[in-house]
Amino acid sequence: MRLQRIVGEDRAIRTNIYLRNALLGTAWSSRLEFPPGFQFGAATSSYQIEGGWDADGKGPSIWDRLFHSAANSGYFNQTGDVAADSYHQWRQDVKAAADMGLDFYRFSISWPRILPTGRTNVVSPAGVRYYSQLIDVLLAAGIKPVVTLYHFELPVTIQDLGGWTNPLIVDLFGEYARLVYSLYADRVDTWITINEGIVICDLTYNFGQFAPQIKEPTFAPFLCNKHVMLAHAKAYRIYDEEFRAKCGGKVSIANNLLWVEPVTPDDLELAELGRQHSIGRFSHPIFSKEGGWPPTTEKLMRAVSRREGYSQSRLPAFTDEEKKFVQGTADFFSLNHYTTSMIRPARAGEAPGTWFINGSAELNAVLEHPPGSTYGALDIMPIYPPGFRRLLNWVRQQYGDVEVFVSENGLATSGTNLEDHIRVDYLTRYMEQVLLAMEDGVRVTGYTVWSLIDNFEWFDGYNTKFGLYEVDFEDPARSRRPRLSAHHYACVIKHRRLKYPESCVQERRNGRR
């Protein structure tokens, strides 16, 4: 009954805006074709696949320390110590990427593998060689490396100085970025500085579960937020000033964009505030015309802080100089998207939601799952494809005609499941929404599946699988096998369409291609 009411209202809200698009969707779906030049890829991150946690002099990261600590050693009994062993098995990863015909492979560099002390006083030759070989072999296979500098792996030495809450991180990250560019920018032309600031800041400090396991939801998420913006800008400017002329590449930051919808028409304003609070805090300083924090978030944080008795906003201000330093520091808009949430005000006595991206403590709001959504293995990620198109349109409406790169999208399954029809369905429906958004005028140039192979899903360990390729974690060689979704993706790439001849998957399964 209640669900029906919400669905009805939800439809009413969207009817006008989306009627044109919905009709368009019907016409368009018969084509479902990607334009020439559209790039397809898959992604992983260093801690989640590499293993070799202390191999050849690698320094410890905050994740090594966390999973080696007595308090956490029992967690599924799982760590990233070996993971998919890509430190040794990386040629298998390149082979998987090549077998599917990927245009690019997005992977991340482990800061402490290259710089065991976190600083540039010690550079690990083995660490440098590892990524160098990977890049060379990818290029030889015709696959473009897309490199993330930071995917949650802070050296412990820097955490011990306060990590992302200490402004020192800005220069330290810059120093690390410069070193990595100097090693690989001759061969890598697409760079992502930082992956998912909202996870590094909000998820980490609001819950205190993610490394470094510090729970401090009052100031830490916002200090961290500001430093993520400045550190990204620093790395961007270093590339711009010292490498761009020679190497001509592109740099951006990958933000996690949860799409937020109102539960009822009364919640439209709250939904927009929710988007600004979660997406805008990490995008507005870079991509907006005015720079700085989103004005509505700034206002909210000022009011909340005043109510709580603070003399200043808990959201630290940017100086004019900082604002200018951050503004415009991206050559494209890189986004990770998985799911949609509905938002409504918290009722009297109801605890505001603290789910996934959060910020809702300040918003005094509760996030609900979209009615009628289905699920993969993670119930925090309802499947709701239409949200993706709306999100992409929102990005364009907010930040203009920017080039958009989908740097992650994917679905979790569990158990051994080579016939992953649910993932095939998810990827098809989400890619369809990308095509529809492109038809609406959003300039999407690339799409990335998370993940190339099964990997260590942080606190969900190895039970949660995102891979196009299954990894046998019982096998010392960590053998990889393509799932149905890998064949499907390969066929989409080959035919550049979501609908391709049935025989394509069959031929791949039979080893005939």
Minimum Å gap between C-beta 173 and ligand NOJ is 18
Closer residue to ligand NOJ in complex, CB, 196/202 = 196
Give the 3-state secondary structure percentages of the chain, helix then strand then coil, rounded to 5: 45, 15, 40
Cα 34 from Cα 39, distance rounded (Å): 9
The string of DSSP letters for 122-158 reads ---HHHHHHHHHHHHHHHHTT-EEEEEEESS--BHHH
Cα 439 from Cα 34, distance rounded (Å): 11
Instruction: Give the residue, chosen from 10, 362, 408, 454, that forms a contact with ligand NOJ under the rule CB under 6 A.
Output: 408
* Interface pattern 283-322 for ligand NOJ (x via CB under 6 A): ----------------------------------------
Residue 473 carries which side chain, given as an amino acid letter?
F
Instruction: Give the residue, chosen from 165, 195, 278, 341, that forms a contact with ligand NOJ under the rule CB under 6 A.
Output: 195
What is the SS3 assignment for 181? Answer: helix
Minimum Å gap between C-beta 47 and ligand NOJ is 8
Contact 198, 147 (CB under 8 A): no
Closer residue to ligand NOJ in complex, CB, 48/278 = 48
Closer residue to ligand NOJ in complex, CB, 45/329 = 45
Residue 121's alpha-carbon distances to 115, 117, 253, 320, in angstroms, are 8, 8, 26, 33
Minimum Å gap between C-beta 192 and ligand NOJ is 10
Query: What are the structure tokens assigned to 322, written together?
Result: 């900082």
CB neighbour class for 382 (10 Å; exposed up to 12, middle 13-18, buried from 19): buried
Closer residue to ligand NOJ in complex, CB, 314/480 = 480
How many residues bind ligand NOJ (CB under 6 A)? The answer is 9
* Binding of residue 336 to ligand NOJ (CB under 6 A): yes
- Catalytic one of 196, 362, 432, 457: 196
What is the SS3 assignment for 436? Answer: helix
Closer residue to ligand NOJ in complex, CB, 143/381 = 381
Instruction: Give the residue, chosen from 53, 450, 469, 473, that forms a contact with ligand NOJ under the rule CB under 6 A.
Output: 450
Query: What are the structure tokens assigned to 88, written together?
Result: 């040794």
Query: What are the structure tokens assigned to 48, written together?
Result: 């989640």
- Catalytic one of 50, 261, 322, 408: 408
* Binding of residue 196 to ligand NOJ (CB under 6 A): yes
Beta bridge partners of 413: 465
* Binding of residue 420 to ligand NOJ (CB under 6 A): no
Cα 201 from Cα 222, distance rounded (Å): 7
Minimum Å gap between C-beta 462 and ligand NOJ is 12
* Binding of residue 50 to ligand NOJ (CB under 6 A): no
Minimum Å gap between C-beta 458 and ligand NOJ is 6
Cα 280 from Cα 165, distance rounded (Å): 20
Closer residue to ligand NOJ in complex, CB, 43/395 = 43
* Binding of residue 110 to ligand NOJ (CB under 6 A): no
**196 in catalytic set:** yes
Q: Nearest to residue 357, comparing CAs of 425, 276, 270?
A: 276
Closer residue to ligand NOJ in complex, CB, 45/252 = 45
Contact 266, 210 (CB under 8 A): no
Q: Which residues of 180-191 are buried (b: 16+ CB within 10 A; e: fewer)?
A: bbebbbebbbbb
Contact 455, 463 (CB under 8 A): no
Minimum Å gap between C-beta 63 and ligand NOJ is 11
Cα 199 from Cα 148, distance rounded (Å): 15
Cα 406 from Cα 103, distance rounded (Å): 14
* Interface pattern 457-476 for ligand NOJ (x via CB under 6 A): x--------x----------
Give strand ranges (E) for 16-115: 39-43, 104-108
Contact 127, 114 (CB under 8 A): yes
Minimum Å gap between C-beta 267 and ligand NOJ is 27
Minimum Å gap between C-beta 276 and ligand NOJ is 21
What totals of helices (H) and strands (E) does the chain contain, helices first? 21, 15
Residue 426 carries which side chain, given as an amino acid letter?
Y
**432 in catalytic set:** no
Closer residue to ligand NOJ in complex, CB, 200/436 = 200
483-512 residues near ligand NOJ, rule: CB under 6 A = none
Closer residue to ligand NOJ in complex, CB, 434/436 = 434
Minimum Å gap between C-beta 513 and ligand NOJ is 30
Query: What are the structure tokens assigned to 121, written together?
Result: 């006083």
Instruction: Give the residue, chosen from 45, 313, 340, 433, that forms a contact with ligand NOJ under the rule CB under 6 A.
Output: 45
Residue 18 carries which side chain, given as an amino acid letter?
Y
169-188 residues near ligand NOJ, rule: CB under 6 A = none
Closer residue to ligand NOJ in complex, CB, 80/359 = 80
Minimum Å gap between C-beta 100 and ligand NOJ is 19
Q: Nearest to residue 237, comparing CAs of 336, 108, 110, 324?
A: 324
Q: Provide the binding-site residues for ligand NOJ, judged by CB under 6 A.
A: 45, 48, 195-196, 336, 408, 450, 457, 466
Q: Would you name the residues annotated as active-site residues?
A: 196, 408
